Amino acid sequence: MISVEEALAEILSHVRPLNPERVAILDALGRVLAEEVVSDIDIPPFDNSAMDGYAVRAADVAGASPESPMRLAVTGSVAAGYVSSGRVEPGTAIRIMTGAPLPDGADAVVPFEDTGDMDRSKEARLEEPASEIDVRRAVHSRDNTRPAGEDIRRGEVAMAAGRVIRPQEIGVLASLGRETVLVHRRPRVAILATGDELLEIHKPLAPGKIRNSNEYTNAALVTRTGGVPIRLGIARDTRADLTDKIRQGLEQGADLFLTSGGVSVGDYDVVKDVLGTEGEMQFWQVNMKPGKPLAFGLLPGGVPLIGLPGNPVSAMVSFEQFARPAILKMLGHQDLDKPTVRAILDEPLTNSGRRGFIRVVVARRPDGYHARTTGEQGSGVLTSMAKANGLAIVHEGILRVDAGTEVVVQMLDWPEGMNP
């Protein structure tokens, strides 16, 4: 048997980030930046007010206090989106709104609440703007202002290649006037389930048959990871059908193949034979449970294929350990690991002696994270995965972990309210 780390390293050694493509910035959400974004402007592009108030010369109000206010003449006003035509001369002020450019001559802003203007009602202030104000608090130069380039300087690298684009990055791109951006292409992932026992999900069950849940689970996992699933349906246990399905996926431009079933010891040789004929395949036994059987190889054109086990839970756990990192690397991600937490077990765990991935529910309590199992851990009990939000990792050679022990849990989901 090979270790989880050895299997993953072999797979990742044959996977590269895909070529970039230019997309509209809203279509770049969740994608990985494939270019360096350099700003050609200052952000903000001009000195502006950080508060509603009065633009002043700080020297004019240096000694102001509630007991000894400084009186200034109000010579104008300016709102956001406009530029004042006036200048702040000694002994004067200009009424200013948040975001408006700082008028010439001004070097600070006095908030409304630090002036006598607050003694009047809002209606009065709107109907008859003050012609003079009493400033009741001193300010220093640059107080309550935002200088040009405070956020981003012209010529500065605003975003480096490799950054994952979130809503906040889209906001930065928009502020720079970028309508499009270069990102790594999303991999097209061909999904193929194998086995004569499988039925399409809309068909009634028949003796000896089960519905093809793996196709849908794997398609959903691919989509959530950022790939584009190509659903090829079910390949029957015949050389012709399996060969045809593989060639269909290649013709549709698959960057990666995911199969489920047909890779275990005792499975019909036709699956292994066809995969071996169509590409250079390795059939492994990985030192983990669930998910011991795993296939990997390269199809024509160097397209990687990962053969997942047929049992639903085994397929999902193997996807998380091997297929997910491969897809993320194709997308240009640098961090390929699932988030983990350390959690205290609320019940003992038993393990096979291989690397165990135990389905658990993690909850946050006052003393930290706690984990409990989702019940029956059979590799065909798909509901145990539906109940789980994490996989407790039990290392090789360990057969039992007592309640109260702290373990590492690989998080499948990160629910609201579970902030670290």
Position 267 pLDDT exceeds 90: no
pLDDT at position 269: 56
Measured from the Cβ of residue 369, the count of other Cβ atoms closer than 10 Å reads: 19
* pLDDT tens digits along 318-355: 999 999 999 999 999 999 999 999 999 999 999 999 99
pLDDT at position 47: 97
Domains by residue range for the chain, with CATH: 4-18+185-330 (3.40.980.10), 24-40+160-184 (3.90.105.10), 48-146 (2.170.190.11), 340-411 (2.40.340.10)
Over residues 252-279, the mean pLDDT reads 80
Structure confidence at residue 265 as a pLDDT band (50, 70, 90): low
Over residues 383-387, the mean pLDDT reads 94
User: In 313-417, which ranges are E strands?
Assistant: 340-345, 349-350, 355-365, 368-373, 390-394, 400-401, 406-411
Distance of CA 209 to the CA centre of its chain: 38
Tokens 């969740």, located at residue: 30
Tokens standing for residue 296: 């990997």
Nearest C-alpha neighbor of 55 from the set 65, 64, 43, 47? 47
| Predicted structure pTM score | 0.89
* pLDDT tens digits along 53-73: 999 999 999 999 999 999 999
Over residues 33-43, the mean pLDDT reads 97
Query: What's the mean per-residue pLDDT of the chain?
Result: 93
298: part of which helix (H) or strand (E)?
A: strand 293-299
Tokens 């069950």, located at residue: 205
155: part of which helix (H) or strand (E)?
A: none
410: part of which helix (H) or strand (E)?
A: strand 406-411
The residue ranking higher by pLDDT, 169 or 297, is 169
The answer for residues whose C-beta is within 8 angstroms of residue 373's C-beta and 6 or more apart is 347, 349, 358, 359, 360, 361, 392
Structure confidence at residue 195 as a pLDDT band (50, 70, 90): confident
Over residues 88-99, the mean pLDDT reads 97
